[in-house]
Amino acid sequence: MTTDEENAPETAPALQDNIRKIEELSQRLIAALSRRAPAHPGLQGPNQELYTNAATAYWSEWMHNPAKLLEHQITYWSKSLVHFIEAQQQFARGQLAPPEDTTPDDPRFSNPLWKTHPYFNFIKQQYLIYAEAMREAVEKIEDLDETEKRRLRYFSDQIVDMLSPTNYLGTNPDALEKALETEGESLVKGLENLVSDLEANEGELVVRLVDEDAFEVGGNLATTPGKVVYRNHMFELIQYAPATEKVRETPLVVFPPWINKFYILDLKAQNSFVKWVTEQGYTLFMVSWINPGPSYADVGMEDYIEDGFLAAMREVKAITGQERLNVVGYCIAGTTLALTLSLMKKRGDKSVRSATFLTALTDFSDQGEFTPFLQDDFVDAIEEEATEKGVLSSKIMGRTFSFLRSRDLVFGPAVRYYMMGETPPAFDLLYWNGDGANLPAKMAIQYLRRLCQANDFAEDGYELMGETLRLRDVDVPFCAVSCESDHIAQWKDCYRGFQQTSSRSRTFILSQSGHIAGIVNPPSKKKYGHYTHDDLRLDHENWRAEAEFHEGSWWPRWDSWLARRSGKWVPARKPGDSQHPPLAEAPGTYVVAPPTD
């Protein structure tokens, strides 16, 4: 007599082995999660007041205009029910096919089975009907101010994206097909990736976006030759070796953001801004900021200005023997450069001949896509966290930036690496993006409270270092470069800020692409173009409508602008001098050092 077990097909040895591996990895997963430290609850989402206000507004709308909300609910129910009936009718006809699918194209649902297989198609269409209903429900709430509406829109979108069927193994045809093709090996590799990421981050889930073993700072990244010629508790100053026999007389100093590392401007040789600048004949200095630890808790914006910006300018003038110099500030360093220029005007310091601002915000009256995170509930939680730890952790900032593009930087990668077992790519830009730095507690709080929330610099003035610093004090010739699809420093907001300066020589360039790709855009790639227009009196919409488009990188245009402000040609300068002997080879020690104690 045979039994059901005797008649059952044998499990393939490879599949059995993979099942055992999954059981072993599950134990490591539990152990990794047990090490996770409790996170500050205020950093996990908005406080309940947002949802309470939304519910109150929704209920008020129901009381005053029930027909409107009933219409919305009935529309959702009818769409969902009609689709269910159509699917049932297909089955009743004996057809293993989905009903007509008129849903818009969505890269998440690119597998043909989402259109052809009745099970997957039914799930997809029901999800998209729900997603549309959720968005409409949010838009129909009227008794919320615009800030709360923007926050509710953002957080509801996060919930909708999280619930996408592509995020779950049982409803993701790509992951299921891959598991069958590999006899479960893809799931084993995916679980290994998940466990490794949890173990590397003390139980905190941070999706690894890049193959970290493929890069080394100073090895195949940040390789432009140079020397560290000065060092203090805030930064190392790198002077790059000349690439031409003669150089422009006026030196150039670049201040990168200290949220990340400076080598975004010196990635691989073929897309290195640093290398390209030296090849155009400039004496280039780069500030490499320290990665602060808890001992830097009381370091504020004033320290970054006095012991950072002004100290670097002082040393560059001493090394080159020049009384004036050109400066560049990128992102938050561009914001701080504007503060520094205002302070220098108050002090009568005319050392800066020209300034270049890369994706730099100076007017925060519109908080853009950061609106959900710049309200008091989040900022209060950040202040508490930073005050307790002494720093605002790079992980918190990295997670915030990632969730501004959660489909591309959270959910999508999690599916590929955890459910399909793919290996993260060897992508230099993503490697840099994951190599963040902490912010000192005092500085982070000043930045969030005084600049982002109160907008002091652009409005009543920022009281700092015994002076009232105002945006309108900035009067040096400047070139500002912003990026068309930048979601961190939206170009229209950057433009509005630079309109408020009092400089008589103002140049604004709008590059195609985003916060990084629009800046790191070497001419050799011939990839992204840029827009220019001389009249900065126009509002941003008219400026963009009338601007002239130019093919290719903005770098050569900026070089022509800078060359006119860089003096005559002089013999090339070797890094350092007798008072500034080389302390280390570029890229220096601060860029690879762990956070200070």
Place of tokens 């920022």: 462
What are the backbone angles phi and psi of residue 564, rounded to the nearest 5°? -70, -15
Give dist(CA 360, CA 336) in Å, integer. 9
Which has the closest alpha carbon to 494: 369, 335, 375, 355? 335
Euclidean distance between CA atoms 294 and 439, whole angstroms: 10
Residues composing the chain: 597
Q: What's the CA dihedral at 124, 130, 135, 139 to 10 degrees?
A: 150
DSSP state of 305: I
Distance CA 12, CA 183 (A): 8
**Which residues 6+ apart lie within 8 Å of 29 measured at CB?**
191, 194, 195, 198
Q: CB atoms < 10 A from the CB of 136, how many?
A: 12
Residue at token pair 């950040």: 382
Report residue 29 as tokens. 């997963």
Q: Tell me: cis bond preceding 587? Omega within 30 of 0 counts.
A: yes
Amino acid (one-letter) located at 488: I
Distance of CA 450 to the CA centre of its chain: 22
Strands (E), 399-477: 439-440, 462-464, 467-469
Around 471, how many Cα atoms within 13 Å sit in the side-chain half-sphere? 22
* Coil/strand/helix, residue 252: strand
31, 186, 198 from 18: Cα distances, Å:
20, 9, 21
Per-residue 3-state assignment (H helix, E strand, C coil) for 306-330: HHHHHHHHHHHHHHHCCCCEEEEEE
d(CA 247, CA 281) in angstroms, rounded, equals: 4
> For this structure, is 452 an active site residue?
no
Structure tokens at 585: 């080879």
| C-beta of residue 256 within 8 angstroms of C-beta of residue 328 | no
Catalytic option among 331, 479, 483, 494: 331
CB 476 within 8 A of CB 355: yes
Closest C-alpha among 200, 456, 187, 226 to residue 342: 456
Which residues does the annotation mark as catalytic? 331
